[in-house]
Structure 1
């Protein structure tokens, strides 16, 4: 097929179809397609994977077209540890999951503390692996007692969901930064109250309007409530909106164009406009309503995208009837076409909100995995291009981690990066899963290596019986403050090189960062410590000193390093009392750690570098030696300089330690 595009309408944009055979995907695999710190994730939903639920869907399942019951699903409730290993093996940095309200509050006002503890433990175990959780508070399922009250059909019922959301936010918000209020409100309303494919299986436009309005009220109230709670201001809370692109089947037919425009307005535009203005016009309603607190009620917008639908005035009203496709389009197992080009238009649509965008779901039903690898490549390519064109896209979550119970479709549609045998519960990584893992690995933030083995003699008695990196600063070890910053910068793996009193690091952990330790057998110096740990080093790493606090923008440093194809990039400041190096045209000319700086020295090493492991392997050696006094002079002309004036803090003396403590206390206040 030749690449071409057709203009549909100003409202809906251009229906573009590319010749994907001409697309170069190499940037996806070489780590240059996405910015440092980009969120790489996978997503699931509680009812689809946990098994053993008792909710509105459990009761509704026998009436679906498949008639299949969720039953044990993926038995995730009893296979938590194994499934966390699957997530970690994909090299992702984030995992989106939902909380099953019916487990947590099986009867009105009755809380199941074991269920709450299960989710709390899930969060802890994710963080131990360096994986950040994203929690969804409502993903299609309701407790039976709430469903029988009318759920979102009655505005008075919203308070019960707000109470549940507040309860779980109170439990988890000290460890969970990312929160989704409601998943796909338009899907919940249309599938449950127009098509009748979801509970409660109704076909009523009047009910659809009421439920849609109450969903937006619930989202706004939830957002305002959680923001007012402890940790609310530090958490990112948003709505997840599914965007279906509607195109006229015959672009020259005004009736087809009209139908596409109507569907786009009902399914997409009215919801986005509501978030933007605070006035919401429910689908098919004649007027709009002011929803208290709705305007600016999201810190980000979650975008779920799967396909486009071709509209005619005679579209089927049953999901199982094959949707129309273009002759050249590939039909997925779910019968709709693979249409990555629509993701570009989805970005343009939600970008009007002026919010950061996160792709919270994107995937394909493809049991044989024939189509999914190309599906992954195409949609990531579109996302990369959108970022390059100025869209503020922060992350991408593939749907789904593994095959699961796909709502009304039962077990017939397989979206997983892992295949699941539901008889044996065996999980098998698909080719698409290996591809996604390799792309995520190529783009994730580097491993952080922290030199924490020195004696710290200048701190006197303070470090005689403890490592300097564990010295208390403002109530916590300096190492904890350093790890806070690297986590804030999107790094989730740290290697701590210990020596002096290294046994005191036993049991040391930090939420959100996966820690490993290598202890030197004797004092080896900075270079010797790195050589001793060479088998634990990744191909590229960020090098820090364990007694320095340097809160710089890692993404800027790494981007500079990678754009220049540098083997070593050091951070340098020109705002310092002393100078220990000379640089010219972003390259190191000479370095000296001695007190008297030679003439022409114009910079000071600030203590944060990005290093290729090959530097150590090619220039390192056994025994004690200094990294800075050996590598910097040897490779001076090859070392890149990254200028950054951010103040860095060195706690090498009691006086400097006092200044650092003052800084942390003032920052905290």
Structure 2
């Protein structure tokens, strides 16, 4: 939206009164704001009619061939001490290795009674009783091969594109993301034990209930194909790679004092080294919903807990969770702090935090790891936590009750986390009046939590418009019986329809997407309230499987291209026209993957043939990379 428009809405934030962009374009807004007054041409300037003439015919519009530019090698940079220099901070470590679990073999482990031995490892899987543990095409790391030049040829340019001359800063973070549970496969191989996501397909407890649930544990076999996958990302010019580490692969028995899986450390060590070798920058998430099953009681039934915050139980409320997670996080940070400049402790904690103690454990374990990284390791990189709820907008922005409903929603789902971590402030009243078992934060807690995010990471796929549904928010929030109070806990209504009756964006697989114009309002809310550089840590567009009939159709994903280009264009406008420090953007996902129970939802910048595990670039990958790198400042 154009900041010069006189119509704006007031949004009240804890920092004071700020202004956000109006979400509706005035009826008299011109459709060509980048044009000068009156049509012009190079042939006949300032004329209202064209000049007609003949000339010899030639194919002047045939495209020329250009190919993607691979990322350049990076100078060696150290962000912290080597593990050998800080291993004393993690006393009494022991390492070992395990084999694979295969329920269909007659072979059995012979070390019964040995704590944390192969028999104990197998017993964890046997107790999980998963329907099928599939193995894929690969059982060892695949050596990379160069990407053929013919795969790197750019598609014909998009016809519609943003019209501005803004630049991204030279150090703008631009990357792609994936998560261990969704791409690695090798679920029961080389010592990995069951984790929460392993059960989504079997139980139907997927994050999103649409689609056919799939219990194929191969995912896209990135555990063995990671070198080829990195080769492909570097070849198309991608600079940053965001990935998560599988907790139950590193610590199969999860708890402090249990052995570390040497094969897992070697795997992630080699992954990070190869990322750096190819000129890319690693960004590590410690947990992406994949808490070891041991920490939710070891039973599938415990997974199915429903709550006010999320769709399933991830174990955050477990009284042993905080110590277990901090122990795991210290282990990973100590091993890789020398080479990893960006760290995310939790992915989208709003999902799976099923109680007040859950929130308390997440906040305090995050802060403990932040202080460990900066104060004990002396790490010079950056640490954050990734928000899964993005700001909403009022359905009727001129109606104060709608504005207050939107602010209430934002305070409940976002400020609850960022007040303590960014500002050292208590939970908002919107949270405390709804969550009866919340754990009060003392002044000492607030001082410890304050300033423990170096940048603000938020996943923004779309937004909702919000409207009031109850006359008394406090009374609604006090009634946590969802059977009698369907509006609990937010006590507001949400929709993807504007007050004029139009959808805010297209329906697509997984969600309804909103047009990119709302993004600036969302970024302004976060920037004004929490005063931290913002990295849009996930954004993406899912297309339904089967929508395309041929590989060529799969690759020509114009709708996804337009989504990415429009969103990146609005990030530029947010920085240049609104003064918001947008520090980076990370696209989800670098390839079609397993979306929490289903392969039907395709977010990938690459299409994956799941029979052969071949990857194919989609045009959206070329368009997004080209949009950013063509606008990246060189100085």
Could you state the TM-score of these two structures normalised by the residue count of structure 2?
0.61
Equivalent position of 1:145 in the other structure? 294
Distance 2:564 2:281 in 1: 22
Distance 2:30 2:604 in 1: 23
Distance 1:419 1:55 in 2: 26
Equivalent position of 2:367 in the other structure? 220
Residue 310 of structure 1 deviates from its aligned partner by 2.3
| Structure (1/2) with the larger strand percentage | 1
For the pair 1:299 / 2:454, whether they are aligned, the reply is: yes
For the pair 1:46 / 2:180, whether they are aligned, the reply is: yes
Equivalent position of 1:16 in the other structure? 23
2:414 to 268, 274, 289: 268
CA RMSD of aligned residues (A): 3.3
The superposition leaves residues 354-375 of structure 1 with CA deviations (integer Å, 9 ceiling, x where unpaired) of 3222221111113462421111
The superposition leaves residues 383-439 of structure 1 with CA deviations (integer Å, 9 ceiling, x where unpaired) of 11222243222222111111111225x222211111122233221111111112222
Residue 137 of structure 1 deviates from its aligned partner by 0.9
The superposition leaves residues 98-150 of structure 1 with CA deviations (integer Å, 9 ceiling, x where unpaired) of 11101111113121111111111010001011101010112111011123288
Equivalent position of 1:605 in the other structure? none
Residue 9 of structure 1 deviates from its aligned partner by 5.0
Alpha-carbon spacing, 1:222–1:274, altered in 2? closer, same or farther (3 Å) = same
Alpha-carbon spacing, 1:324–1:383, altered in 2? closer, same or farther (3 Å) = closer
Equivalent position of 1:180 in the other structure? 344
8 Å CA contact 1:238, 1:299 repeated in 2: yes
Equivalent position of 1:587 in the other structure? none
State the secondary structure of the residue aligned to 1:420: strand
The superposition leaves residues 288-317 of structure 1 with CA deviations (integer Å, 9 ceiling, x where unpaired) of 524352101111121221111123456889
Distance 1:20 1:233 in 2: 51
Matches within 5 A, 1:515-594: 558-559=634-635
Distance 2:279 2:395 in 1: 46
Equivalent position of 2:563 in the other structure? 375
Could you state the TM-score of these two structures normalised by the residue count of structure 1?
0.58
Alpha-carbon spacing, 1:146–1:407, altered in 2? closer, same or farther (3 Å) = same
Distance 1:289 1:2 in 2: 41
1:324 to 475, 479, 496: 496
1:157 to 304, 315, 321: 321
Distance 1:22 1:393 in 2: 26
Residue 29 of structure 1 deviates from its aligned partner by 10
Alpha-carbon spacing, 1:23–1:374, altered in 2? closer, same or farther (3 Å) = farther
Residue 20 of structure 1 deviates from its aligned partner by 11
Q: Which runs of 5+ in 2 are unaligned?
A: 14-19, 35-157, 188-193, 299-313, 470-485, 545-553
Matches within 5 A, 1:202-281: 207=355, 209-230=356-377, 232-251=378-397, 256-281=402-427
For the pair 1:91 / 2:225, whether they are aligned, the reply is: no
Matches within 5 A, 1:429-508: 429-443=617-631
Matches within 5 A, 1:289-438: 289-290=441-442, 291=445, 293-312=448-467, 323-326=495-498, 327-328=502-503, 329-351=505-527, 352-367=529-544, 369-389=557-577, 390-407=579-596, 410-438=598-626
Distance 1:181 1:21 in 2: 44
Alpha-carbon spacing, 1:151–1:334, altered in 2? closer, same or farther (3 Å) = closer
Distance 1:380 1:391 in 2: 14
Alpha-carbon spacing, 1:5–1:158, altered in 2? closer, same or farther (3 Å) = farther
Alpha-carbon spacing, 1:154–1:270, altered in 2? closer, same or farther (3 Å) = same
State the secondary structure of the residue aligned to 1:347: helix
Equivalent position of 1:104 in the other structure? 250
8 Å CA contact 2:393, 2:403 repeated in 1: yes
8 Å CA contact 2:168, 2:628 repeated in 1: no
Alpha-carbon spacing, 1:10–1:350, altered in 2? closer, same or farther (3 Å) = closer
Alpha-carbon spacing, 1:424–1:383, altered in 2? closer, same or farther (3 Å) = same
Distance 1:279 1:10 in 2: 19
For the pair 1:134 / 2:283, whether they are aligned, the reply is: yes
The superposition leaves residues 609-642 of structure 1 with CA deviations (integer Å, 9 ceiling, x where unpaired) of xxxxxxxxxxxxxxxxxxxxxxxxxxxxxxxxxx
State the secondary structure of the residue aligned to 2:537: strand
8 Å CA contact 1:29, 1:438 repeated in 2: no
8 Å CA contact 1:29, 1:439 repeated in 2: no
8 Å CA contact 2:345, 2:384 repeated in 1: yes
State the secondary structure of the residue aligned to 1:245: coil
Greater mean alpha carbon deviation, residues 259-268 or residues 27-36:
27-36
Distance 2:397 2:241 in 1: 40
Residue 322 of structure 1 deviates from its aligned partner by 11
State the secondary structure of the residue aligned to 1:355: coil
Alpha-carbon spacing, 1:188–1:15, altered in 2? closer, same or farther (3 Å) = farther
Residue 80 of structure 1 deviates from its aligned partner by 1.0
Equivalent position of 2:197 in the other structure? 57
Higher relative contact order (CA 8 A, sep 6+): 2
Equivalent position of 2:219 in the other structure? 73
- Report the structure number with the largest CA radius of gyration: 1
8 Å CA contact 1:151, 1:157 repeated in 2: yes
Distance 1:148 1:274 in 2: 30
State the secondary structure of the residue aligned to 1:244: coil
| Structure (1/2) with the larger helix percentage | 1
State the secondary structure of the residue aligned to 1:269: helix
State the secondary structure of the residue aligned to 2:530: coil
Q: Which runs of 5+ in 1 are unaligned?
A: 194-206, 445-554, 560-669
Residue 31 of structure 1 deviates from its aligned partner by 8.6
2:274 to 114, 125, 144: 125
Distance 1:372 1:16 in 2: 22
